[in-house]
Amino acid sequence: EPEVTQTPSHQVTQMGQEVILRCVPISNHLYFYWYRQILGQKVEFLVSFYNNEISEKSEIFDDQFSVERPDGSNFTLKIRSTKLEDSAMYFCASSEGWLGGYTFGSGTRLTVV
Amino acid sequence: QKEVEQNSGPLSVPEGAIASLNCTYSDRGSQSFFWYRQYSGKSPELIMSIYSNGDKEDGRFTAQLNKASQYVSLLIRDSQPSDSATYLCAVNSGSARQLTFGSGTQLTVLP
């Protein structure tokens, strides 16, 4: 069964550093997303991406964050100048259409120390 | 602010029983509704989607949607210990390219 692949599975970074989280969505999917889940809290929407541009972004997704699809397969989330409160599980997801169900990757656990 | 509300539980049922999970949503324009299962430390896994009023069955799972009442439910028949997980209700509004998740209901199936 096709899957969304995320790397790394766990990233530890020092406060103030930049991190790049990587994702390979399912190949025939057209919509891509980043979500995050702080431990014990809800899954929160960050950004959706379609046709090489951001479709929607949440209030969380401020200038500290950016997304990119550098080639035909990868989809990245960059977090600049990380803060302690950025520590969370970050999930990439993809879907064929924007009303359909999403397939989530296994996540990257980001720990900012 | 679009809200999705779930009873946080925990909900405990004996093995073989029916587990009933409920969800309400605030946005009347919502068009698609999903149930995800999330094991501790893992990613959400899609188990059911429903788009129109009524029931949708898939194996031991039945999703029910009532748009007039803004209510979605999930029934799990013949519950198994392996069904023990947190169940997330998620809603996609008509104008938003995003899912809004509830806080999840933690289900424990007792052997």
CB contact under 8 A, B46 and A102: yes
Nearest to A87 by CA among A32, A51, A24, A40: A40
Q: Which residues contact B75 (CB under 8 A, 6 or more apart)?
A: B18, B19, B20, B21, B61, B62, B63, B64
Assess whether pLDDT exceeds 80 at residue B94.
no
Phi, psi of A31 (to 5 degrees): -115, 140
CA distance B87 to B37: 5
Give the separation between CA B11 and CA B20, rounded to whole angstroms.
9
CA end-to-end span of chain A = 36
Q: What's the confidence (pLDDT) of residue B38?
A: 97
Q: Which residues of A touch B88 (CB under 8 A)?
A: 43
- By residue count, chain B amounts to 111
How buried is residue A69: exposed, middle or buried, by Cβ count under 10 Å (0-12/13-18/19+)?
Answer: middle
Chain A: give the shortest CA distance to residue B31, in Å: 7
| Per-residue pLDDT tens digits for B41-63 | 999 999 999 999 999 999 999 99
* DSSP line for B87-109: EEEEEEETT-SSEEE---EEEEE
- CA-nearest residue to A5 within chain B is B43
Q: What is the pLDDT of residue B95?
A: 63
Q: What is the pLDDT of residues A57-110, one digit of tens each?
A: 999 999 999 999 988 789 999 999 999 999 999 999 999 987 788 999 999 999
Residue A18 gets which letter from DSSP?
-
Give chain A's length.
Answer: 113
Residue B72's pLDDT is 97
Query: Which chain A residues contact residue B97 at CB under 8 A?
Result: 31, 48, 50, 55-56, 98
